Structure 1
Amino acid sequence: MTTTPPRFDTRQRLILLVLLGAGFMLSVDFSILNVALPEAGAGVGMELTALPWITSAFALPAAGFTLLFGRLGDLFGRRRLFLTAMAVLTAASLLGGLASTPEMLLTARALQGLATAMTIPAALSLLTTTFTEGATRDRVLGLNGALLAGGFTVGALAGGTLVGLLSWRAAFLINIPVTVAILVLTPILIGESRRTGRVRLDLPGAVAVTGGLLAVVYAIIEKSAPAAVAGLLLLAAFWVIELRSPAPLAPLRILRRPTVKWGNLGGLVVFSMGTAMIFLMTLYLQKILGFSPLVTGLVFGVPGLAAVAAGPMAGRLIGRHGSRRVLAAGIAVQGLATLPLVFLGTDRVGLAVAVPALFIAFFGHVTAIVAYTVTGTSGLADGEQGLATGLTSMTQNVAITVGIPILAAIAATRTDELGGIHLALSVDVAATLTGAALVWFGLRPRGDRRSAVQADGDTVAVGA
């Protein structure tokens, strides 16, 4: 039986244009700035050894503050948070475009990370509360996944051209017309989320989880054992605080939900191993095969088309087969398609294997992203959507930040560069397939679960 895809009215299309456009802009900007890093660093007189901090200055607040901002959106208004994010991003982009010192550039990147930590959960929760759970929301989240993937692809392909024709400053300034348009349109199209009763913020929990995430991400980036210990202690303290708090930042009953727990584990695997695989293949294409950055971008461009197509298709697959099956299958496809890359050699004929493998891997990657977003936000009340989308966004930001340093460190254990890439890709495959198995079994329906909806999206009778 075929189902008619849900249709959107004019106002809903405009809301999608604003909210999905914000995510698309952030993903394009992220890719362009990756291309522009050397030029940006040189433009403000930054030492070569300090260049990684242009990325880290963004990654730390983006990963550390997402959960907090997701909950703040629930409590104080998601539209308000979204508008604040766009205002901060406008200021950060202007500061970055005019930066003349390393301090100005790093401040701009940190503010961009902070704006991203606000934008992603706010935009996602506005989407999940505007569009009802089911086929309509699945289609919306599929479009969101397609545009995010498309943004990364467009940024990678256009970044070198933009920076070459204009300047690295264009990578910052290009955001400003978009953010200004969003600031104008959002109050007209989107109503503020309503809150009832007295608003209470779990300040100790907010401090503990934000500090813990910042410390853990910093520890992975800088390979700092003391920071890792401090981060784990703060996260343990957060768990204890949430058990005792009368108004917890993240109620443990939500964190214990199989869809939230296993859905976010799936997202952690998908993003960390996917971004690390792209990084390793970038090294392979440039260091082993000797391709230029422009040619490398073109090689990734073809698989990028699969990523864009996967978003809308994922929504339909979820409606037909359930999010559990699609999530586990998407992760497995990503892992299995990465396997042939382990055996690539120094001959450029290997591209005949690499490009199709990347095409399939990107398709599985984006399919899994949509499925994990659907899984992690399903079955929750509107008042908890900010927390749920904050969790999925936090998972994404943390995973993107930690995947590359971990597998890069594994690759560095081999003196032979190609051997190191092969070893790291092997670990990537093993971790990805293990993640697929854990998600499949973790989300399996249980006969004693007192819910009318199983993890795979199929309605069942309870108590029969």
Structure 2
Amino acid sequence: MTTRDKLILMVLCAAQFIIALDFTILNVALPVLGKDLGMGQADLQWAVTAFALPSGGFLLLSGRIADLYGRRRLFLAGLALFTVASVLAALAWDPATFLAGRAVQGLGAAIIVPTGMSLLTTTFTEGPRRERALGISGSVLSTGFTVGMVLGGVMTDSLGWRSTMGLLSAAGVAVLVAAPLLLPESRNPLRPRIDVPGAVTVTGGLLALIYALSTAAEAGFGRPDVLSTLVVGVVLLITFAVVESRTDQPLVSLPMLRRPTVAWGNLAGLITFAMMSTVVFLLTLYLQEVLGLTAFRTGLVFGVQGVVSALAGILAPKVIGRIGAHRTLVLGLLVQAVFTAALLAVGSGPGDGAGVWLALAGVSIGSLGHLWAIISYGVTATSGVPDDQQGLATGLVSSSQQVGITVGIPLLSAVASARIAALRESGTGFADATLGGIKLGLGLDAALVAVVALLVAVGLRRTRTRRGTPPAA
């Protein structure tokens, strides 16, 4: 890479790092935040959901608009929106103001993520340069999630929860100053019209689906609004598929979705993000509720995971260059599945040192596979796609990532919560019941990742066979 290439990558990674921080930096701060703003325990989930709804719902539309009207222009607009919203959230004087700031942050993130990814893939040509750039970007992204958890606890204890939003504001300003000086503009020269029916149905469907799954984590799937929005989301997404098959200029090209590399790559991305975010959530519950660790010590466990993730991101391009992106993707998923399953051996009881070390080893080595899967799925799902459709392809990649992060925890935490409640009703003690629910969630997590790894291996192998390339390609 040239010096300019490195600076461009630094700016794009910094923006992704800020978004990753925002996903986790408030996790530890929620109880303090709730007391300060007068939010009840049941309302705290909205601090997360208000961000998740727009950040997941508007990704595809943002990626398409960027293709047509300029990726750099939209990237800067999203970054400015995110920065202003972070200031609003930091200064919030009541729950409504804070949640409005979080929602606008989510909208800014929905613009930054696909436009930043498409700027990366159009700046760095397909091959070793792109693989290296995606490796660094994936490593920075994963590290951001982990650093957010550690920083959230430290800053909330020392400076208060508002400092976390202030940090995001300052970081946003810094990137906003540097980005216009370095980033090139790129767009689709044909500038086809926006597919309005497709935009309405896919955005509405994703919003409804994310709301239903996020709310189900707290309220369960039996509540009327959860069931109704879940049905609405599914119906709108089916309608979206029908609309896209009948329009001349679709928001999402169905032939692109029928590309095996795009389809299997995005399925793998959705699962690896959904299941690893769930592992982190369930282990946080285990370390604090079962073993009695403080939030700070829990953060240190995940700090080690962050270091391993950074190393995995450095190694990933070399592994991809040696065995190919497809095999690296399958290998990463299998490593993640095996070491998630290993966590089923953790025990209960305050001060269980063996449990802490096993959790540390399992989540850290599992994260190595997770990072390999993240980077190789990005390479797989964008390879062979022309530059004028990179915004769409990277929008799909980003959607898999964001939807995976959003839906994994609600789904498996609902399963774990139901198991905990059933064990408590049968007379099981709190720690053992909590551990039983956590182990059920981890077992399902590992099984899902393993099944998808096998499906992806078969699907991509058939793709190579049809193209007449050797299996090692």
| TMscore range, shorter length | over 0.9
Q: After alignment, is 147-156 or 357-366 more displaced? A: 147-156
Deviation at 1:308, TM superposition (A): 1.1
Decide whether aligned partners of structure 1 residues 205 and 419 sit closer, same or farther in structure 2, where only a CA change above 3 A counts.
Answer: same
- What residue in structure 1 maps to residue 428 of structure 2? none
Post-superposition CA distance 1:375-427 (Å, at most 9, x none): 11111001111111111111111111111111111112222221111111111
Partner of 2:57: 64
Contact 1:134 1:319 in 2 (8 A): no
Q: Is the 8 A contact 2:71 2:187 kept in 1?
A: no
| Distance apart, 1:153 and its partner CA | 2.2
SS at match of 2:315: helix
Between the aligned partners of 1:447 and 1:409, the Cα distance in structure 2 is 39
- 1:432 maps to 449
**Aligned: 1:382 with 2:392:** no
Q: Which runs of 5+ in 1 are unaligned?
A: 1-7, 459-464
User: Which residue does 2:164 correspond to in 1?
Assistant: 171
2:80 maps to 1:87: yes
Deviation track 1:2-31 (CA, whole Å, cap 9, x = no partner) reads: xxxxxx211111111111111112212322
- What is the CA distance between 1:57 and its match in structure 2? 0.4
Structure 1 partner of 2:375: 370
How far, CA to CA, are the matches of 1:132 and 1:457 in structure 2?
22
State the shift of 1:351 in Å: 2.4
TM-score (normalizing by structure 1): 0.94
Counterpart residue number, 2:151: 158
Secondary structure of 1:33's aligned partner? coil
Aligned to 2:206: 213
CA-CA distance at 1:111 after TM superposition: 0.7
The separation in 2 between residues aligned to 1:198 and 1:159, in whole angstroms, is 43
Q: Which residue of 1 aligns with 2:356?
A: 351
What is the alpha-carbon distance in structure 2 between the residues aligned to residue 276 and residue 303 of structure 1?
A: 14
Q: Does 1:238 align with 2:230?
A: no
Task: Tell me, yes or no, if the aligned pair for 1:43 and 1:100 is still in contact at 8 Å.
Answer: no
| Kept after mapping to 1: 8 A contact 2:68/2:189 | no
Cα distance change, pair 293–198 in 1 and its aligned pair in 2 (3 A): closer
Residue identity matched to 1:412: S
How many pairs does the alignment contain?
449
Checking the alignment, whether the CA contact within 8 Å between 1:310 and 1:366 is kept in structure 2 is yes
CA distance in 1, matches of 2:20, 2:185: 25
* 2:366 paired residue number: 361
Alignment of 1:21-100 (within 5 A): 21-100=14-93
Return the alpha-carbon distance in structure 2 between the equivalents of residues 245 and 254 of structure 1: 15
Partner of 2:120: 127
Q: Confirm whether residue 148 of structure 1 aligns to residue 165 of structure 2.
A: no
1:64 CA displacement: 0.7
Q: How far has the Cα of 1:320 moved from its partner?
A: 1.4
Runs (5+) with no aligned partner, structure 2: 216-220, 424-432
In the alignment, which residue of structure 2 is the partner of 1:254?
256
The amino acid across from 2:372 in the alignment is T
Q: Distance in 2 between matches of 1:372 and 1:274?
A: 15
Which has the higher mean CA deviation after the structures are superposed, 30-39 or 431-440? Answer: 30-39
- Please say if 1:17 is aligned against 2:17: no
Q: CA RMSD in A?
A: 1.6
CA distance in structure 1 between the partners assigned to 2:438 and 2:27 by the alignment: 21
Q: Report Cα offsets for 1:216-267 as digits up to 9, x if no partner.
A: 1111122311111111111111111111111100010101111110001101
Amino acid at match of 1:130: T
CA deviation map 1:263-296 (0-9, x unaligned): 0110111011111111111111111111111111
- Cα distance in 2 between the residues matched to 1:141 and 1:289: 37
Q: How far did residue 314 of structure 1 move?
A: 0.8
